[in-house]
Amino acid sequence: MSGPYARGNRATLTRVKAAPGARVQPGRMRAIDANEDESVTDDGAAPQGAAQTLDNRGLEPPMPMVRTLEAFERLPSGGTLTIRNDRVPVHLLPQLDARGARYQVEELADGGARVVIHKGPGPEAAR
């Protein structure tokens, strides 16, 4: 199976690269450095400052939200989770607010969205 949907059903760990020139919604996270390119491990335990990427394209709601929130909770403090969705995940954002996450939403030219989620001092401390 090829195409974008082939990546949809598993947590895909790749390297983060912000799209230069992408529109950035007013978010609560630091601006993405266009040259940022951080290493990751593929066991889900991202080291401090490292990034994890999750491709949620081609999934039926609410699976993108489920995968994102699970991955977020596994993320260590200071870690960054970047998700790629078919559209801006407006229903996810309040859930991230409730967990004390900081995030930045980029709308992409193809109608999709990339959200960079930063786990700060930990949900307990954030609450």
Partner 1 sequence: MTATGTPAAVPLRFLLSGVGLFAVAWIVLSVRPDLVTAHPLHPGVLTVVHAVTVGFGASVLLGAVHPLVPVLLGVPLAAPRWGGPAWAIFTAGAAALLGGFWTSSYGLVAAGGSAATLGTLVVAVDLLRTARRARRIPWPAACVLASVAALTITLLLGLLLASARVVPQLAPFAVGWTPLHLTVGLAGAFGLAMLGAGHALLGMFLLAHGRSFRALRAGAVGVLAAATFAASTRFGPALWREPWREPWREPWLGVTSPALIATAAALAVAAAALLLDATTAWKRRMRRRPDAAVAGWLVALAWIPVAWGLLMLGRPSDAVIAFLLGAVGTGICGMSIKIAAFLTWQHRYAGRIGVDGASDAAPTPTLADMMLPRLARWTTGALTVATLGVLVARSGTALDAVLGPGLALALPTVAAVLGATAACGALAHLTWIVAGPHRPRSEGTSTTLAPSDAPTRTGAVA
Binding site for partner 1 (CB under 8 A): 1, 5-6, 8-11, 23, 57-63, 65-67, 69-74, 86-95, 98, 107, 111, 113
Q: How far is the CB of 56 from partner 1 (least distance, A)?
A: 10
Question: Using CA atoms, how far apart are residues 6 and 57, in angstroms rounded to an integer?
Answer: 9
**Amino acid letter, residue 117:** I
Nearer to partner 1, 51 or 92 (CB): 92
Q: How far is the CB of 106 from partner 1 (least distance, A)?
A: 11
Checking 5-9 for CB contacts under 8 A at 24+ apart, the result is 5/57, 5/58, 7/55, 7/57, 7/58, 8/55, 8/56, 8/57, 8/58, 8/59, 9/59
Nearer to partner 1, 6 or 45 (CB): 6
Nearer to partner 1, 37 or 87 (CB): 87
Q: How far is the CB of 83 from partner 1 (least distance, A)?
A: 13
